[in-house]
Amino acid sequence: MTLPTPAAAPPADPPSFGTRLAGAMQAHGRLCVGVDPHPQILRDWGLTQDAAGLREFCARVLDACAGRVGVIKPQVAFFERFGVAGMQVLSELQQQARAAGLLVIADAKRGDIGSTMAGYAEAWLSPGGDFAADALTVSPYLGFGSLQPALQAAEQHHAGLFVLALTSNPEGQQVQLATDAEGVTVAGRIAAAVAARSTTAEAGLGSIGLVVGATTAGLAAAHGIDLSAGRMPLLAPGYGAQGAGADDLRRGFGPSYSSQVLVNSSRGILAAGPDAESLTRAIEGTLEDLR
């Protein structure tokens, strides 16, 4: 008598983005290296202003990051300016980085409504896509509800989102610190909405977080915005070349700094190039400063 073959167990779901991010920060620290091939950086590195120069830039940065940091954040605009060839390099970078064990946050700041937002989300978060990233930066300034397609895609694909809240550009405060009839700021409403989504995380960090500038983090406490709610991951640009130091981060974020804050550094590290040894020293020095 032939016994039936047992049915194969369904594949386990991959860990959430928040869980992966918490693991990366525990293993490598809170530094996220911004991959920003600004025209001046390419010139300073002696690289050509074309896809070939862009590809060489990415290879050097990725080589310095792999095994030393847990997260990179390509600035999509600096790849888009080279057209199709630039976007091909971005696709290669993101795939190579993830294969090397790095998490990738695509800094594209997408924001739209309905099927258009769904299209953006699938382009950047679908695992099989050319631009598949672990997380995407998004803009909520068509209303937080406009992000619903992206929130659904992030949940479906076990990916993350970083929602713009208190950005480091001064003009952002005109909108972000505007108050409603109840005296609550726009940034406060966004933070509360994100915290409500993050509380569904099973462990560690939530998968839906905020972008809060290193130079503006102190405004949260001043305006009654709770950054610790829901264990939201907090992506903090503005450190280093943009003016904020490690002490500013600790004061601005308060208790949230120790476990929720991922600090982005772009120019502060890239300015050390073009040789790999100098980039490595800059990364290691930054990691030590942020501990």
Residue range 120-177, pLDDT digits in tens: 999 999 999 999 999 999 999 999 999 999 999 999 999 999 999 999 888 999 999 9
Structure-model confidence comparison of residues 65 and 241, the more confident one: 65
Q: Is the pLDDT of residue 71 over 60?
A: yes
Q: Is the pLDDT of residue 242 over 90?
A: no
Cis peptide before 274 (omega within 30 of 0): yes
Same domain for 89 and 164, yes or no, is no
Same domain for 137 and 246, yes or no, is yes
Same domain for 118 and 237, yes or no, is yes
Q: Is the pLDDT of residue 241 over 60?
A: yes
73 catalytic? Reply is no
Same domain for 171 and 234, yes or no, is yes
Residue 281 counted as domain residue? yes
Q: Is the pLDDT of residue 75 over 80?
A: yes
Q: Domain holding 245: CATH number? A: 3.20.20.70
Tokens coding 191? 């933070």
Same domain for 141 and 48, yes or no, is no
- pLDDT score at 8: 54
Mean pLDDT of 254-258: 91
Residue 32 counted as domain residue? yes
Same domain for 150 and 205, yes or no, is yes
- pLDDT score at 244: 82
- pLDDT score at 210: 98
Separation of alpha carbons 85 and 119, rounded Å: 21
User: Is-above-0.85 flag for pTM?
Assistant: yes
Same domain for 230 and 116, yes or no, is yes
- Determine how many CB atoms are found less than 10 A away from the CB of residue 191: 26
Residue range 37-63, pLDDT digits in tens: 999 999 999 999 999 999 999 999 999
* Domain, as residue range, for 139: 111-265
Same domain for 157 and 248, yes or no, is yes
Residue 197 counted as domain residue? yes
Q: Is the pLDDT of residue 277 over 80?
A: yes
Same domain for 176 and 211, yes or no, is yes
Tokens coding 10? 């369904």
Q: Is the pLDDT of residue 29 over 60?
A: yes
Lowest-confidence segment of 2-6, 251-255, 281-285 by average pLDDT: 2-6
Task: Name the active-site residue from 68, 98, 109, 250.
Answer: 109
- pLDDT score at 14: 84
Residue 13 counted as domain residue? no
Separation of alpha carbons 196 and 280, rounded Å: 39
Mean pLDDT of 194-206: 76
